[in-house]
A = this chain, B = another copy of it.
Amino acid sequence: MRQNTIGIDLGGTNIRVALVEDHGMILKELNEKTEVEKGPEFVINKMVRMINEINQGENVKSVGIGAPGPLDLKKGLILDPPHLPGWTEIPLVRILEKETGLNVFLDNDANAAALAESLLGAGRDYESVYYITISTGVGAGFVINGKIFQGAQGYAGEIGNMIVNNAGQSYLGLNRGALEGITSGSSITREGMVRLGVKGGTEEVFLLAKNGDIVANEIIDEVIKHMAIAIANIIHTINPAVFILGGGVMKSEQQILEPLREKVKEFVYPGLKEIIRIHPAQLGTRAGIVGASLIPRQYE
C-alpha cells in the first residue's frame, strides 16, 4: 500500500488542497478563494498554510499540484498563465519545498485530470488514454501505460490551439480556426450572445437547442463537428485506445456524446468506425484534485 499524498488544485478562483489515499479517496479537504489579485506571494503563503493544516497529525511526504499552464515542468515554474495574472516565472516547486519540507511535483491541470481518469476513472482499462476537458477553455492530457506523456516542452495536450477550421477566426491569441475558439464554453457563450442575444452562457444555449431553436442547434452542431475533426485528427496521429471527455460543458453530455461519436465515424478510416471509443469522464469535479495527488507517483 502506498502512502497518502496531498493533492492541490490551483485555480484562478479557488485553491483546493486535499489528503488523498492510494485509490483516490479524499480523506480531508480544504477549499479557499485564491484571491489572485493579491499576488503570488500572498497566494503561495496561503498554499503553505493549507498544506500544513491538512498535514497536521499526518505523515505525508509528497505533494502534487495541478496548475493552469503554461508551465516549465522541468524547472517547476509557473510561466505566465492567463488564469493567474501577475504570475511570471514563479518557482512554485522550489518555494513550496523550502517552506513545507515536502517533495513537491507540478503538472498542468488537464494532465492531472487525465491521470485521475486514466488510473481510477473511465480510462482505467486502457493502455493509452486521450483525456479532453471542454470547459471555459479546451485542454487535454495523454496518458500511456499510466504515465503522462508531457511532450518535449510540455505542450502535449494543448489541443485548444489545433487548427480545425481554416476559414475560422482568431480568438484569445489562438490560431485562426483553433479548436478552443469554436468548442470551448466561452466560445459557446460568445456565439449565444452574438447569434441568439442570450446571456445565460452554455447552459442556456444547450437548453434552447433542446427546445428546438434552430440557431442554438447550429451552434451546437458546429461545436460537435469541429470537436469530431479534432478527435479524428488525434486518432490518425496517435490512435489512442480511448478518448475520455470531461469538463463543465460535458454537463450537457446527452446532447453531445452520441452526435459526436457519429460525427467522428464520418472522419476516420473504415476499419476504425466501429472500434473508436469515446467515453464520458467518471470522476467529475474530483478529477483535478485526485489527479494532482497522483502526480508524485509519476516520478517514483
Contacting pair A238 B236 (CB below 8 A): no
Contacting pair B269 A156 (CB below 8 A): no
Is there a chain B Cβ closer than 8 Å to A165's Cβ?
Answer: yes
Contacting pair B152 A241 (CB below 8 A): yes
Quote the shortest CB–CB distance from A127 to chain B (angstroms). 7
Quote the shortest CB–CB distance from A224 to chain B (angstroms). 14
Which of B157, B165, B167, B240 lies in contact with A152, CB distance below 8 A? B240
Taken together, the copies of this chain in the complex come to 2
SS class of chain A's interface: helix, strand, loop or mixed? loop
The contact string, 1 if C-beta is below 8 Å from chain B, for chain A 231-272, is 011111111111000000000000000000000000111011
Quote the shortest CB–CB distance from A84 to chain B (angstroms). 16
Is there a chain B Cβ closer than 8 Å to A155's Cβ?
Answer: yes
Given contact pairs A152-B128, A155-B236, A271 touches B79 in the complex (Cβ within 8 A): yes
Is there a chain B Cβ closer than 8 Å to A103's Cβ?
Answer: no
Residues of A whose CB lies within 8 Å of any CB of B are 70, 79, 126-128, 140, 142, 144, 149-167, 175, 177, 229, 232-242, 267-269, 271-272, 275
